[in-house]
Amino acid sequence: MNAKKYCRALKRFAADKNYRIRLLAFLGFYNSMPDEKYLKMLYKANTGEELNLENPMKLNEKLQWLKLHDRKPVYTQMADKYRAREYIASKVGREYLIPLLGVWERAEDIDFDSLPDSFVLKCNHTSSTGLCVCRDKSRLDRETVRKKLTKAMAQNYYLVWREWPYKDIPRRIIAEQFLSEPDGSPLVDYKFYCYGGEPRYFMVSYGEAEHNVKNHKFDMQLNSIDYLFKKQPAVPAEEIKLPENIDKMIELAGILCRGHQHLRVDMYNVGGRIYCGELTFFSGGGFIKMVSQEYSDYLAGLIDLKACVEEKSVDD
């Protein structure tokens, strides 16, 4: 960070209480704070409103409520990028898994010599921290990769947003096959957002591996609904060619999200072959942004908190 940016950040830190809270939360200053108190503080810092947990009605209120009260043991497996593979295979079949190349408990144990020229390394318990997308092993700085992964392995991802499914994941580093489009163009991500046990919309996302993300959202009838989320599209709908087997992707997302009040199912489609990437709880940390309050309220209405309470009472 240059001097000017540092000064601006310092001034904002001093003047903006909400920014200060968000930054300190990310840095771990509130790690010992109980979940409910922490989420109320974070919600106020992110939205400017008080978090209603007694009778949550808004979408993001319900997502915060789910963090505290919807805690099925299977969620730990589903959030684990390694063990989720077995969950996905049990629901839709192994043919939709990205080929696994290796698993290690420590970065220093990674056997780079056993890996092909291109591969992906990732931690199983975080979002993208420590992610290594290797296209040419001969040019890879192995020690730098190990240091980044070691740092990522020490991160307690649960503490940042208090997303319970990530709390008790046994930490591992996994290597997966590097996927690329047949023409060599960057991989396209397809993210299916599911509410009330069904996919409701999906996002086509470009440039995630390059950290230059542009995306567009569609409903289940393949109509553009990007205007509900942002004022100007980052990618015009007419420039996006959806896969011919997009209906199959929707079908798979529907199977994987069945019975879950909120889940994001991430997929790839490479030359017509579908791969299920991962299952994500609480997209955006449970703070989903959109310009349409009406659509946000519609999605909130699809989440049945009463069903979570009834399931919990049956389990007890």
Tens place of pLDDT per residue across the chain (316 aa) = 577 777 888 888 889 899 999 999 999 999 999 999 999 999 999 999 999 999 999 999 999 999 999 999 999 999 999 999 999 999 999 999 999 999 999 999 999 999 999 999 999 999 889 999 999 999 999 999 999 999 999 999 999 999 999 999 999 999 999 998 888 777 899 999 999 999 999 999 998 776 678 999 999 999 999 999 999 999 999 999 999 999 999 999 999 999 999 999 999 999 999 999 999 999 899 999 999 999 999 999 999 998 887 666 555 5
| Residues 194, 260 contacting (CB under 8 angstroms) | yes
Q: Please report the pLDDT score of residue 24 as a whole number.
A: 95
The predicted model scores a pTM of: 0.93
The predicted pLDDT at position 260 comes to 96
- What is the rounded CA–CA span in Å between residue 61 and residue 53? 7
pLDDT value for 212 = 76
3-state DSSP call for residue 183?
A: coil
Tell me the pairing of strands 214-219 and 198-206.
antiparallel
Residue 11 pLDDT: 87
Q: By the 8 A CB rule, do 256 and 192 touch? A: no
